[in-house]
Amino acid sequence: MKDLQNTQLLQNISSLLDNARKKVAVAVNQTIVLTYYEIGRMIVEDEQNGENRAEYGKAVLKDLSLHLTERFGKGFSVSNLKQIRQFYIVYSKGQTLSDESGVITNQKPARQDSIKFNLSWSHYLKLMRITDINERRFYEIESYKNNWSLRELQIQYDSALYARLSLSKNKEEILQLAEKGQIIEKSKDLIKDPYVLEFLGLSEKPHYSEKELESELIDKLEHFLLELGTGFTFVARQDRITFDEKQFRIDLVFYNRVLRCFVLIDLKIGELKHQDIGQMQMYVNYYDREKRLEGENKTIVIILCQDKSEALVRYTLPEDNEQIFASKYFTILPSKQDFINILNSDNGKIS
Quick one: pLDDT band at residue 95, thresholds 50, 70, 90?
A: very low
Q: Please give the average per-residue pLDDT across 156-162, as a whole number.
A: 89
pTM for the model stands at: 0.73
Q: Give the whole-number percent of the chain exceeding pLDDT 70.
A: 84
Quick one: pLDDT band at residue 96, thresholds 50, 70, 90?
A: very low
What pLDDT was estimated at residue 153?
93
Angle formed by the axes of helices 171-180 and 133-145, nearest 10°: 50
pLDDT digits (tens, 9 = 90+) for 56-92: 667 888 889 999 998 888 888 999 999 999 999 999 8
* CATH code of the region 186-336: 3.40.1350.10
Residue type, 299: T
pLDDT digits (tens, 9 = 90+) for 252-303: 999 999 999 999 999 998 888 888 888 899 999 999 999 999 999 999 999 9
Map out the domains of the chain as residue ranges. 8-118, 186-336
- Residue closest to 60 by CA, chosen among 74, 75, 40, 87: 40
C-beta of residue 217 within 8 angstroms of C-beta of residue 200: yes
